[in-house]
């Protein structure tokens, strides 16, 4: 690695597995001190141990971002303390995905999904961005989704939360950018963590047919984009949603 995030500090929510874990590992490999955050202490400890074994810097801060302002503020405060007083990079990755149809979604589920996917990053950003600005700047990266812009017949609730996150990305870029805080988002396509010996096809593979990539992606694809957005290489990038989706939302491949 090239040390693009050397001496930076980062908080990655929902980073005990999958995309969040890949981002935390990539940040640490590029020189950042990373707070791994999530509800599962054992999985968090495993991620931290792996980063430290590779000579990276990481600590686990347990958090249940339930959408309350208090939970988000507590997460920000404990992460700042762990990172020596400042957060240079925030990745709003934590989220939940109920795949039910609209008519099968009850009000309790609706409220919980919006709490975790929208309210939690909203109040966490509110708790982190002003301190970033006072420290001279920073970078915030939100995780959107391809289903925010391409309708599919299931998961309308989840899709709408990711649409909200992408809208917030542009609004926050306008609000915090003049103070030196860059806000951008990544919109992943179908991302699958493959396991050794896995032979059964993943259900998401069907959704990537007819795309330029022709297959699902892995978490590392998202992590590479996150490193770029967090680094000085993206210093002129504000309010952008970077599609890392194998071409799902931008191109169609027509085959005979």
The pTM of the full predicted model, rounded to 2 decimals, is: 0.96
Dihedral angle of Cα 184, 171, 14, 24, to the nearest 10 degrees: 20
Helical pair 69-82 and 120-134, crossing angle rounded to 10 deg: 40
Q: Is 69 exposed, middle or buried, given 0-12, 13-18 or 19+ CB atoms closer than 10 A?
A: middle
Q: Cβ(30)–Cβ(2) under 8 Å? A: yes
Domains of the chain and any CATH numbers: 9-244 (3.40.50.720)
Give which of 179, 42, 30 is closest to 10, Cα–Cα.
Answer: 30
Active site residue ranges: 158
Taking the chain (256 residues) in runs of 10, the rounded mean pLDDT of each run is 92 97 98 97 97 98 97 98 98 94 96 98 98 97 96 94 98 98 97 74 82 94 98 98 96 79
> What count of residues does the chain have?
256
Which run of H or of E encompasses 165? helix 156-176
39: helix, strand or coil: coil
């Amino acid at each position: 690695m090239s040390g693009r995030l050397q001496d930076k500090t980062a908080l990655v929510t929902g980073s005990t597995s999958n995309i969040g874990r890949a981002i935390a590992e990539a940040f640490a490999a590029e020189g950042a001190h990373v707070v791994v955050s999530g509800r599962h202490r054992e999985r968090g400890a495993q991620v931290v141990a792996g980063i430290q074994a590779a000579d990276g810097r990481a600590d686990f801060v347990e958090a249940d971002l339930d959408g309350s302002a208090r939970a988000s503020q507590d997460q920000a405060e404990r992460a700042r303390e762990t990172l020596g007083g400042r957060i240079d990079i925030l990745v709003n990755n934590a989220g939940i995905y109920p795949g039910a149809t609209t008519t099968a979604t009850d009000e309790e589920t609706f409220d919980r999904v919006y709490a975790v996917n929208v309210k939690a990053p909203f109040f966490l950003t509110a708790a982190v961005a002003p301190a970033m600005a006072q420290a001279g700047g920073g970078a915030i990266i939100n995780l959107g989704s391809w289903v925010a812009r391409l309708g599919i017949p299931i998961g309308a609730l989840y899709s709408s939360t990711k649409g909200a996150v992408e809208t917030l990305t542009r609004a926050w870029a306008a609000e915090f950018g003049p103070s030196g805080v860059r806000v951008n988002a990544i919109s992943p396509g179908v991302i699958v963590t493959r396991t050794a010996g896995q032979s059964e096809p993943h259900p998401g593979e069907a959704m990537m047919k007819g795309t330029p990539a022709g297959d699902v992606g892995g978490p590392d694809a998202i992590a590479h984009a996150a490193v770029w957005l967090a680094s000085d290489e993206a210093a002129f990038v504000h309010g952008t949603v970077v599609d890392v989706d194998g071409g799902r939302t931008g191109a169609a491949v027509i085959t005979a």
